[in-house]
């Protein structure tokens, strides 16, 4: 087997570049982008990126960089509408989006119990989260978002650790057609099949899940 031998100078340069990219992401989050319109993310999402529940700003820490990049690109293109995020995303360069997304993925967040379909479901919110409503072709949330709603890959973000206000706001946006950047209108169909009470109940279920520890 033949191994490629990298020159020491090349390896050092690569490491320095990676460190610079990480530092840039941290700077963008804390201070904003080069364009003044790209304000600091921490202003709304908190210094630890765990969100500000009372104001409806979501947790960003620990979320897949691929998912965050797509959302920023969708805000920029107008595919996902939000009066605050659209001008910010439009002011970020591709490199800045890449850097801040990677930084957010690496930020520590809370861990949650891996509650799955086999767990007992008490109440409307738990029933929707763990069993779904298949008579309306509504799958259980954990089928896509993973046990405990901790998120799966780049396509399905975490629900655990988000506020009920944010989660219900997104479900209502899908139901009303204000948000439509999901594949094959999956979330649009689910949201339109739910009542106001069900949206509130399942949002509160995930918002109230007890975290176990802080993971790096």
Is 45 annotated to bind a ligand? Reply is yes
**Where exactly are the structural domains of the chain?**
25-106, 124-208
Which DSSP string corresponds to the chain? -------HHHHHHHHHHHHHHHHHHHHHHHH--SSTTS--THHHH-TTS--BGGGTBPP-TT--HHHHHHHHHHHHHTSB--TTHHHHHHHS-HHHHHHHHHHHHHS-EEEE----TTS---SHHHHHHHT-BGGGTB--HHHHH-GGG--BTTTB---TTS-HHHHHHHHHHHHHTSB--SGGGHHHHHHHTS-HHHHHHHHHHHHTPPEEEEE-
Report whether 107 belongs to an annotated binding site.
Answer: no
What is the percentage of the chain residues whose pLDDT exceeds 70?
88
pLDDT, tens digit, 9 for 90 and up, residues 61-88: 999 999 999 999 999 999 899 999 999 9
Whether pLDDT at 11 is above 80: no
Mean pLDDT of the 140-168 span: 96
Residue pair 157/109 in contact by the 8 Å Cβ criterion: no
Prediction pTM value: 0.85
Phi-psi region of 166 (alpha: psi -120 to 50; beta: other; left: phi over 0): alpha
Query: pLDDT-derived band of residue 23, with 50, 70 and 90 as boundaries?
Result: low
Q: Is 141 annotated as a binding residue?
A: yes
Is 144 annotated as belonging to a binding site? Answer: yes
Is 114 annotated for ligand binding?
no
Q: Domain 25-106 maps to which CATH number in 1.10.760.10, 3.40.50.720, 3.30.590.10, 3.30.420.10? A: 1.10.760.10
Q: How far is CA 45 from the centre of its chain?
A: 12
Task: For residues 176-187, give the mean pLDDT.
Answer: 92
Query: Any known ligand binding at 194?
Result: no
> Are the C-beta atoms of residues 92 and 31 closer than 8 Å to each other?
no
* CATH T-level topology, domain 124-208: Cytochrome Bc1 Complex; Chain D, domain 2 (1.10.760)
Q: Report whether 187 belongs to an annotated binding site.
A: yes
Grade residue 214 by pLDDT with cuts at 50, 70 and 90: low
Instruction: Provide the angle, in degrees to the nearest 10, between the axes of the packed helices 196-207 and 164-176.
Output: 140
Say whether pLDDT at 22 is over 70. no
Mean pLDDT (the chain, rounded):
90
**Would the CATH topology of 25-106 be identical to that of 124-208?**
yes
pLDDT value, residue 143: 96
């Amino acid at each position: 087997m033949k191994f490629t031998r990298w020159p020491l100078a090349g390896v050092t340069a690569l490491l320095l570049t990676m460190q610079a990219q990480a530092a840039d992401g941290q700077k963008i989050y804390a201070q904003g982008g080069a364009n003044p319109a790209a304000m600091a993310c921490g202003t709304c999402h908190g210094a630890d990126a765990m969100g500000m529940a009372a104001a409806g700003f979501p947790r960003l820490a620990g979320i897949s960089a691929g998912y965050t990049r797509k959302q920023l690109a969708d805000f920029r293109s107008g595919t996902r509408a939000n009066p605050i995020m659209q001008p910010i995303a439009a002011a970020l360069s591709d490199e800045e989006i890449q850097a801040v997304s990677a930084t957010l993925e690496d930020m520590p967040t809370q861990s949650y119990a891996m509650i799955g379909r086999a767990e007992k479901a008490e109440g409307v919110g738990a029933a929707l989260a763990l069993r779904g409503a298949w008579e309306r072709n509504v799958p259980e949330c954990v089928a896509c978002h993973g046990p405990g709603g901790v998120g799966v890959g780049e396509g399905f973000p975490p629900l655990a650790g988000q506020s009920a206000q944010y989660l219900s706001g997104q479900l209502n946006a899908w139901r009303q057609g204000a948000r439509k950047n999901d594949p094959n209108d999956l979330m649009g169909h689910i949201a339109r099949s739910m009542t106001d009470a069900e949206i509130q109940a399942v949002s509160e279920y995930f918002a109230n899940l007890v975290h176990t520890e802080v993971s790096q």
